[in-house]
């Protein structure tokens, strides 16, 4: 899955930073029908978790109310230099992940 992650490359210790992620995914609601009248099966990203130096800082349960190509944004406090790991899974079991490094002065 194509995903883009954005956060500042550097931050001061204790600074609040904004983290953004956009994932390419159809987020098929399960309420649509194809041109032949068959229901299109539901398939949405149902879980997104973000870890910062191995402690979970953000977690979301998503459903069919979230539009396609979901965009999420949250804040966290920069504490120590390290890695943010984003992981998500959809109803079909497809997993995606992204990593980003943060340097904290």
Partner 1 sequence: MTSVRNPAPLLVVLLLAVAFPANAAELQKPSPLKSGVEFTGESARALEKDEFANPGMLWVERGSKLWGEAPRGNGKSCASCHGDAAKSMKGVATRYPRVDPGAERLVDLEGRINLCREKNQLAHPLARESDELLALTAYVARQSRGMPLAVAIDEKSRAAFERGRVQYNTRVGQMNLACTHCHDRNWGKQLAAETVSQGHGNAFPAYRLEWQSLGSLERRIRACYYGVRAEMPPYGAEILLDLELYLGWRASGLPVETPGVRR
Per-residue binding letters, 21-50, with partner 1 (x by CB under 8 A)? -xxx-xx-----------------------
**Does 97 contact partner 1 by CB under 8 A?**
no
The residue from 13, 20, 95, 99 that contacts partner 1 (CB under 8 A) is 20
Spatial distance between the Cα atoms of 13 and 18, rounded to a whole number of angstroms: 14
Is-contact 11 81, C-beta < 8 A? no
Nearest approach in angstroms of CB 57 to partner 1 is: 19
Q: In sequence order, what DSSP letters do the residues of 28-74 get, joined into one string?
A: B-S--B-TTSPBPPPB-EEEEEEEETTEEEEEEE--TTSPSS-EEEE
Spatial distance between the Cα atoms of 27 and 42, rounded to a whole number of angstroms: 8
Residue range at the interface with partner 1 (CB under 8 A); choices 38-46, 56-64, 67-75, 79-87: 67-75
The residue from 71, 75, 95, 101 that contacts partner 1 (CB under 8 A) is 71
Binding region for partner 1 (CB under 8 A): 2-4, 6, 20, 22-24, 26-27, 67-69, 71
């Amino acid at each position: 899955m194509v995903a883009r992650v954005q956060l500042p490359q550097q931050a001061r210790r204790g600074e609040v930073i904004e983290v953004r992620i956009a994932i390419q995914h159809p987020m098929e609601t399960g309420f649509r029908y194809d041109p032949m009248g068959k229901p299109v099966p539901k398939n949405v990203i149902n879980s997104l978790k973000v870890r910062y130096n191995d402690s979970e800082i953000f977690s979301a349960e998503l459903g069919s109310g979230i539009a396609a190509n979901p965009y999420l944004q949250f804040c966290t406090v920069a504490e120590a230099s390290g890695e943010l790991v984003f992981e998500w899974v959809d109803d079909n079991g497809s997993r995606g992940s992204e990593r980003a490094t943060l340097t904290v002065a």
